């Protein structure tokens, strides 16, 4: 039981790291003007929702 809980925590932490990396990449692409701000706002909003879900 403890092992399953630990694995769940590790998975959650990895997902949060991935979400933060994806958000950073969206910001980078916007700075390089390869992505419009309206699209970026939608993507970041989705990432924010995912992050809130995994943070519980």
Cβ atoms 39, 47 nearer than 8 A: no
Structurally, how many domains does the chain consist of? Answer: 1
49 pLDDT higher than 90: yes
Residue 15 confidence class, pLDDT cut points 50, 70, 90: very high
Residue 56 confidence class, pLDDT cut points 50, 70, 90: confident
Residue 12 confidence class, pLDDT cut points 50, 70, 90: very high
| Cα–Cα distance for residue pair 44/13, rounded to 1 Å | 19
Residue ranges making up the domain that contains 37: 2-55
What single DSSP character describes residue 33? T
| Cα–Cα distance for residue pair 3/23, rounded to 1 Å | 30
Average pLDDT, the chain: 95
């Amino acid at each position: 039981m403890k092992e399953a809980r630990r694995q769940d925590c590790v998975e959650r932490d990895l997902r949060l790291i991935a979400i933060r990396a994806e958000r950073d990449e969206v910001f980078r692409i916007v700075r390089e003007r390869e992505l419009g701000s309206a699209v970026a706002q939608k993507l970041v909003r989705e990432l924010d929702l995912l992050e809130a879900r995994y943070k519980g």
